């Protein structure tokens, strides 16, 4: 496996922003997640919960509601009063439309998918018609006194329920008038609160309206008579979200205490037809408020202020008890936020609104295996680069020589030149970027820092020649006609001759940088690509997919390599295939061509192609090699996958030189310490 | 006693006396007649007695010997002083107004864009209106029309939106928009954010601090660790404030002395 000196970096103080909404799409089995900074992410639940796409956030665009309509169209609405539709192919915003009702709190698509309903700050409920490529205002419902915080359609589409402060209204869709107004009790454990906020409503097909409110109640109302049917007091704090399954036999609520409750419709006695709602299971996977929940046919999905997205499969719905039935907790983005300059030992950290540049520390001490060496020179914070404007950073990169930094927001591309003079550095912006370089999904510098590769969101790839403090546009690879899919991942060969680019679903394209044309396309695979890299000298393209498969493709021969074929024939170890975080980075050892270094959030692995592959009977996660065993046994048990789980959660790992590694960790405890305050809970004996 | 009568009527002490002025004289006379008849005691007599006492107090204070001339001189002096202050105030006010007016004029000048740009803007917007009216305007007008029935102000906003949507000038690197709309929108957004913050983290929401939460977690761990956040920002607030104030004062003093 080799021994390395490891820089263990823990000063990347990245805090993901809290989850505000989730929306589950049954047709494509995808999950849309919006965060408090306005970012929207799309997870593909059938591709091993991989975060396929993301739309960068915006300071003024605080998303409060998210929904799918007409199958694949995604809408969001927020406190700036705009309804936004996202273009899921080109990965940008199709249009934003003002609803003219002040901040929007809630949104719901009709069961048929042709209409969209928004609830606004001024108490109006507005109905929009969804037409191809646009939405069109249709009419207003009767104006209410206070803001509409939650909305739900009756499955037949004839009525809607709207939750406001202290009351729930039921509207008739045809006439637009309120048929019932159901007042909610402000009392909370005998104490009268100032107001009772209806955080969520759900309309069932039998006419029952379920409401959850800030007094900790889950209430069942009869919409025909406007009366309270049943009341469950489930929490000492707000109940903030509700989601009902499509069959209407179970629903899920999330509370501010971090608990998620599952309610099910069960028979009163063992063989009677009379059924009632019963609170069946509590789940405590969150530490902070659960702001949103969703109910997929097989799982409960919840997200909240503590930034975790939790997917909890329901055991009774899962047919095969395999690893898919396990709990998933997604905390970190499935893309790289860190880039590294090997030559100058610099790390560039990407945050939502700024970039940080650090120089790694160094040590003169030596020690034996497993020692922690004292630093003789501390890590230096060299640069704090703030973005202009309200847009979040999409991607960033530092050149391997450390003298260029590039980053992009949704509308602008920035390139900076760094000059080092002894101990101080100076930064110079390269002005007059060409007009076509407006927004990039991925930026990459070539190994010798003379070329810049930019994947723009129109699907084209730009190659730019970098000169001393200046640049020249060399070429643009246009996307193949008929495709609008944008490229999200790039890799360049160390000799600078080949460029590989992959989109979200189609195969990986390999371009020849010398001849400026498409060289070949790697056959498409069912699962999205999570990481790409081209090996030095051999020019083998290594591709990792979200189902943990790794392929090696020889670019000069335009075919898979022998090793790749062998491993596909034999199959990966079953424990390897069960890993739940995608491989986010692949690198190579400069002196050992047989090694491939890969890592995901919880492990780091060196794949040694010269060793035999493990079969399902061998131990995959080998502990550190015991020293007292004989060489023969060690050789017999050795296999190609050398896995280390010392560093976790691991956000980035790369080789600085032959004997030095850098690992960037982000302990979860540090993230919790920077989150908003949680609800106080009494623990016995404290 | 009879002498007191006119005085009592002169002081507008009781509102009732003022209100029913129709019948008064005869009644009063009758009352006083009665009073005259039985002067010794009774409820009605009390106010009169009080009056008498008040008079006595006044009499006690009154005697103070002043010659007429000195009093007159004093009065004149006073009058003169008052007149002078009024005049001074007036001139000061005038001056202030003048200065402000000048400032306004200057500000207005500063705010205005150079004439050339203004001219360009007006011509460009007119051209845009003519050009885009069939296509773009109609599009935006559709929601606007529907909105009309809802609310007058909404429709107004829609019109403003139309103006906002047009990028003015040939240079596409900027969009002209009315700042007032933006302010309104921002303030509404701020209010909405304040509402959500207040209802989630405001008073009565039973929140703890992150530090307490983590220490509770730490207490139940088999291996005890150090606190997540060592620094308590709540310590010595008063002292810090005092130091801050002292520093500010010291700087002001220093600047004054250096000026001199």
Tell me the sheet residues that pair with A129: A115, A136
Helix (H, G, I), strand (E, B) or coil at A269: coil
Q: Flag whether pLDDT at A608 surpasses 80.
A: yes
Tell me the per-residue pLDDT of A53-68, one tens digit each, with 9 for 90 and over: 999 999 888 899 999 9
CA distance from start to end of chain A: 47
Examine the pLDDT at B24 and tell me if it is beyond 80: no
Closest chain B CA to residue A681 = B208
A131 touches chain B (CB under 8 A): no
Helices (H), A53-204: none
Q: Which of A212, A286, A680 to mutate to test the interface with B (most CBs of B within 10 A)?
A: A680
Q: How far is A667 from chain B (nearest CA, A)?
A: 12
Structure confidence by residue, pLDDT tens digits, A528-581? 999 999 999 899 999 999 999 999 999 999 999 999 999 999 999 888 988 889
β-partners of residue A92 are A87
Q: How many CB pairs under 8 A join A and B?
A: 96
Q: Is residue B155 very low, low, confident or very high in pLDDT (cuts 50, 70, 90)?
A: very low
Distance from CA of A678 to the nearest CA of B (A): 6
B149 touching A, CB under 8 A?
A: yes
Q: What is the pLDDT of residues A342-392, one digit of tens each?
A: 999 999 999 999 999 999 998 888 888 778 888 888 898 999 999 988 899
pTM listed for this prediction? 0.77
Contact partners, residue A420, CB within 8 Å, separation at least 6: A344, A402, A403
Q: Is B143 within 8 Å of chain A by CB?
A: yes
Flag whether residue B232 sits within 8 Å of chain A, measured between CB atoms. no
| Extended beta strands in A90-207, E state | 92-98, 104-109, 115-120, 125-131, 134-140, 150-153, 159-163, 167-172, 178-183, 187-188, 191-192, 198-203
Confirm or reject contact between B152 and chain A (CB < 8 A).
Answer: no
> B217: how many CB neighbours lie within 10 A of its CB?
15
Q: How far is CA A211 from CA A165, A221, A559, in A?
A: 12, 8, 58
Q: Are A589 and A655 in contact (CB under 8 A)?
A: yes
Coil, strand, or helix at residue B215?
Answer: helix
**In this predicted model, which residue has the larger pLDDT, A90 or A494?**
A494
Question: What are φ and ψ of residue B55, in 5° steps?
Answer: -55, -40
Per-residue pLDDT at A473 exceeds 50: yes
The A413-421 sheet, strands edge to edge: A393-398, A404-409, A413-421, A424-429
Instruction: Report the C-alpha dihedral over residues A322, A323, A327, A332, rounded to 10 degrees.
Output: -160
Name every chain B residue with its beta carbon within 8 A of the beta carbon of A237: 205-206
Distance from CA of B238 to the nearest CA of A (A): 25
What number is the ipTM of this complex?
A: 0.86
The span from the CA of A443 to the CA of A452, in Å, is 7
Q: Which of the four pLDDT bands, split at 50, 70 and 90, describes residue A457?
A: confident
Restricting to A residues 256-315, those with a Cβ less than 8 Å away from any Cβ of B are 256, 287, 289
A602 φ, ψ to 5°? -120, 0
Q: What angle do CA A279, A282, A283 make, to 5 degrees?
A: 150
* A139 part of contact set with chain B, CB < 8 Å: yes
Residue to mutate among A18, A61, A64, A79, with most B CBs inside 10 A, is A79
Among the partner-chain residues A197, A256, A677, the one whose CB lies closest to the CB of B210 is A677
> Among A684, A631, A677, A625, which residue's Cα sits nearest to residue A2?
A625
pLDDT of residue B2: 41
**Residue A327 CA from chain centroid, whole number:** 17
Q: How many residues does chain B have?
A: 260
Q: What is the pLDDT of residue A117?
A: 94
- Residue (of A97, A136, A141, A138) closest to A119 by Cα position: A141
Judged against a pLDDT cut of 70, whether residue B38 lies above it is answered with no
Arithmetic mean of pLDDT, A447-476 = 87
Chain B closest-CA separation from residue A266 CA (Å): 33
Using the Cβ of B160 and the Cβ atoms of chain A, whether some distance falls under 8 Å is answered with no
- Is A102 part of the contact surface with chain B (CB cutoff 8 Å)? yes
CB contact under 8 A, A678 and B147: no
B205 and chain A in contact, CB less than 8 A: yes
- The region, left, alpha or beta by phi > 0 then psi within -120 to 50, assigned to residue A182 is beta
């Amino acid at each position: 496996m080799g021994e390395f000196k490891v820089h263990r970096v823990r000063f990347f103080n990245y805090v993901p922003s809290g989850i505000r909404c989730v929306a589950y799409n049954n047709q494509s089995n995808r999950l849309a997640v919006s965060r408090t900074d306005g970012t929207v992410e799309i997870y593909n639940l059938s591709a091993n919960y991989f975060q396929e796409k993301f739309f960068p956030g915006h300071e003024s665009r605080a998303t409060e509601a998210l929904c799918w309509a007409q199958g694949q169209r995604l809408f969001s609405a927020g406190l700036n009063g705009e309804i936004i539709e996202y273009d899921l192919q080109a990965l940008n915003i199709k249009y934003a439309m003002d609803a003219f009702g002040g901040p929007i709190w809630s949104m719901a698509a009709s069961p048929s998918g042709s209409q969209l309903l928004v609830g606004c700050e001024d108490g109006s409920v507005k109905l929009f018609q969804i037409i191809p490529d646009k939405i069109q205002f249709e009419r207003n419902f009767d104006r209410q006194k206070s803001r509409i915080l939650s909305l739900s359609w009756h499955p037949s589409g004839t009525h809607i329920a709207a939750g406001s402060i202290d009351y729930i209204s039921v509207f008739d869709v045809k006439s637009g008038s309120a048929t019932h107004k159901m007042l909610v009790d402000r009392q909370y454990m005998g104490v009268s609160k100032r107001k009772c906020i209806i955080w969520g409503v759900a309309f069932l097909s039998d006419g029952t309206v379920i409401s959850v409110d800030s007094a900790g109640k889950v209430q069942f109302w009869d919409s025909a008579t406007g009366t309270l049917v049943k009341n469950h007091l489930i929490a000492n704090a707000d109940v903030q979200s509700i989601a009902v399954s499509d069959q209407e036999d179970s629903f899920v609520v999330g509370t501010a205490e971090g608990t998620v409750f599952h309610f099910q419709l069960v028979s009163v006695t063992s063989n009677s037809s009379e059924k009632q709602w019963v609170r069946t299971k509590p789940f405590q996977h969150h530490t902070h408020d659960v702001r949103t929940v969703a109910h997929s046919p097989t799982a409960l999905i919840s997200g909240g202020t503590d930034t975790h997205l939790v997917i909890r499969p329901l055991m009774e719905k899962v047919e095969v008890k395999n690893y898919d039935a396990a709990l998933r907790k997604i905390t970190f983005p499935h893309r790289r936020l860190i880039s590294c300059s090997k030559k100058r030992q610099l790390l560039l950290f990407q945050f939502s609104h700024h970039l940080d540049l650090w120089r790694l520390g160094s040590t003169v001490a030596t020690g034996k295996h497993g020692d922690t060496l004292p630093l003789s020179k501390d890590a230096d914070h060299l640069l704090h680069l703030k973005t202009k404007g309200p847009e979040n950073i999409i991607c960033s990169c530092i050149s391997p020589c450390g003298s260029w930094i590039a980053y992009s927001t949704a509308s602008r591309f920035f390139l900076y030149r760094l000059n080092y003079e002894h101990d101080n550095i100076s930064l110079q912006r390269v002005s007059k970027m060409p007009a076509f370089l407006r927004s990039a999904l991925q930026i990459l510098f070539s190994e010798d820092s003379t070329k810049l590769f930019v994947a723009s969101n129109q699907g084209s790839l730009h190659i730019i020649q970098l000169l001393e403090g200046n640049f020249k546009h060399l070429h643009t690879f246009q996307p193949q006609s008929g495709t609008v899919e944008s490229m999200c991942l790039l890799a360049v060969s160390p000799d600078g001759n080949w460029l590989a680019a992959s989109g979200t679903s189609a195969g990986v394209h390999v371009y020849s940088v010398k001849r400026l044309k498409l060289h070949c396309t790697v056959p498409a695979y069912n699962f999205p690509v999570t990481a790409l890299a081209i090996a030095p000298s051999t020019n083998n393209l290594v591709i990792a997919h979200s189902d943990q498969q790794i392929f090696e493709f020889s670019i000069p021969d335009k075919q898979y390599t022998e090793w790749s074929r062998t491993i596909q024939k034999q199959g990966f170890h079953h424990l390897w295939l069960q890993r739940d975080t995608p491989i986010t980075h692949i690198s190579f050892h400069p002196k050992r061509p047989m090694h491939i270094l890969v890592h995901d959030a919880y492990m780091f692995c060196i794949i040694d192609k010269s060793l035999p592959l493990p079969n399902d009977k061998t131990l995959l996660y080998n502990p550190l090699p015991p020293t007292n065993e004989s060489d023969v046994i060690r050789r017999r048990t050795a296999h190609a996958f050398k896995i280390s789980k010392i560093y976790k959660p691991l956000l980035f790992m790369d080789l600085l030189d032959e004997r030095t590694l850098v690992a960037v960790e982000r302990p979860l405890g540090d993230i919790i310490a920077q989150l908003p305050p949680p609800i106080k809970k009494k623990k016995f004996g404290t | 006693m009879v002498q007191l009568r006119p005085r009592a009527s002169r002081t507008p002490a009781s509102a009732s006396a003022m209100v029913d002025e129709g019948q008064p004289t005869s009644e009063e006379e009758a009352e006083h007649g009665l009073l005259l008849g039985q002067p010794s005691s009774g409820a009605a007599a009390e106010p009169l007695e009080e009056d008498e006492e008040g008079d006595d107090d006044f009499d006690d204070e009154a005697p103070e010997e002043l010659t007429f001339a000195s009093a007159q001189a004093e009065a004149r002096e006073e009058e003169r002083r008052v007149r002078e202050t009024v005049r001074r105030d007036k001139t000061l006010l005038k001056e202030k107004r003048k200065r402000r007016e000048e400032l306004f004029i200057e500000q207005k000048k500063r705010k205005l864009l150079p004439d050339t740009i203004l001219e360009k803007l007006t011509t460009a917007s007119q051209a845009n209106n003519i050009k885009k009216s069939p296509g773009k305007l109609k599009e935006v007008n559709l929601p606007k029309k529907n909105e009309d029935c809802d609310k007058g102000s909404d429709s107004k906003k829609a019109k403003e939106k139309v103006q906002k949507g047009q990028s003015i000038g040939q240079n596409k690197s900027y969009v002209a928009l009315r700042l007032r709309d933006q302010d309104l929108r921002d303030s509404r957004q701020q209010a909405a954010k304040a509402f959500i913050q207040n209802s989630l983290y405001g008073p009565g929401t039973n929140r703890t601090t992150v530090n307490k939460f983590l220490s509770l977690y730490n207490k139940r761990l088999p291996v005890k660790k150090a606190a997540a956040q060592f620094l308590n920002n709540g310590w010595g607030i008063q002292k810090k404030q005092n130091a801050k104030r002292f520093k500010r004062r010291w700087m002001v003093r220093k600047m004054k002395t250096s000026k001199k």
